[in-house]
């Protein structure tokens, strides 16, 4: 399966991905409701987009007491069925990455569903920071790069193994 991989070195914080995601998911350009978020760190002059990794062992899915979270067989995406979601927020507490949002208006949780296999955020990325790649590539290469970059911008690498 493929996921949306992030290269923080290339991100320029234009937030196109957030706007595109919000529009795709809600029909509106309210960034706060997007399922991808670009964190901008002014002191470190760094920006990093974050979105769901569709974990192989997705705890949000296992723990959902409404049976509302399932894996899409075709795309591999971990998806929330808004019709079944009771709004109990157990998935928000289960996700260690903060990648599940809550729609106060409808009282349901929401997250990235890979737009059914054609993630719009990737198409709207102007700098090549987002790519839709096979998981193995995303993990072996991209995540390492992400951690290294984060350490670098924080000057944490010195004196560390």
Partner 1 sequence: MRPAGVMRRHVAIVGNGAAAISALETFRTHDRDSRVTVASAEPCTAYSRVLLPYYLRRKVPYHHLFIRDAAFYRDFDADLLLESAVERVDVGARRLEFADGRNLPFDRLLLAPGSSPVRPPIPGLEGPEVQHLWRLDEAGRLDHLFRQGARALVIGAGFVSLQAVWAARQRGLVVTVIELAERILPTVLDDAGARILQECIVASGVDLHTNTRTEGLMRDERGTLRVSVEGLPSFAADVVIVGTGVRPNDHLLAECVEPAQRGITVDDTMQTAIDGVYAAGDVARGPVVGGGPRTVHALWPTAVEQGKIAGANLAGARATYAGSLSMNVTSMFGVTVASLGRFAAEEGDTVVLRDDLPGLRYLKIVVREGVPVGAVALGGAAAATALGFLRPFVRQRVPVADIEAVVTGEHVAGRIARGRAIGRVVPGGSGS
Q: Which residues lie near partner 1 (CB under 8 A)?
A: 1-3, 37, 39-41, 44, 46, 48, 53-58, 62-63, 65-67, 71, 73, 76, 78, 83-84, 86-90, 92-98, 100-102, 104, 107, 135-136, 138-139, 143, 147, 150-151, 153-154, 156
Q: How far is the CB of 1 from partner 1 (least distance, A)?
A: 5
Judge contact between 100 and 60, C-beta under 8 A.
Answer: yes
Structural tokens at position 2? 């493929």
Nearer to partner 1, 127 or 148 (CB): 148
**Backbone dihedral angles phi then psi of residue 64, each to the nearest 5 degrees:** -55, 115
Nearer to partner 1, 20 or 99 (CB): 99
What number of H helices and E strands is found in the chain?
6, 8
Q: How far is the CB of 136 from partner 1 (least distance, A)?
A: 7
Q: Where are the beta strands (DSSP E) in 18-120?
A: 36-41, 46-51, 69-71, 78-80, 101-103, 108-110
Q: How far is the CB of 97 from partner 1 (least distance, A)?
A: 7
Q: How far is the CB of 39 from partner 1 (least distance, A)?
A: 5
Nearer to partner 1, 23 or 50 (CB): 50
Tokens 């719009």 belong to 120
3-state secondary structure of 131: strand
């Amino acid at each position: 399966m493929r996921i949306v991989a992030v290269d923080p070195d290339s991100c320029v914080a234009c937030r196109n991905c957030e706007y595109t995601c919000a529009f795709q998911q809600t029909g509106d350009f309210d960034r706060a409701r997007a399922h991808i978020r670009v964190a901008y760190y002014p002191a470190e002059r760094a920006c990093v987009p974050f979105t769901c990794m569709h974990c192989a062992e997705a705890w949000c899915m296992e723990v959902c007491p409404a049976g509302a979270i399932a894996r899409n067989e075709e795309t591999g995406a971990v998806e929330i069925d808004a019709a079944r979601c009771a709004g109990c927020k157990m998935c928000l507490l289960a996700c260690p990455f903060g990648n599940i949002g809550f729609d106060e208006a409808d009282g349901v949780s929401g997250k990235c569903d890979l737009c059914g296999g054609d993630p719009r955020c990737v198409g709207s990325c102007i700098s090549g920071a987002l790519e839709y790649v096979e998981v193995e590539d995303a993990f072996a290469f991209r995540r390492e790069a992400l951690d290294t970059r984060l350490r670098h911008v924080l000057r944490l690498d010195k004196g560390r193994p």
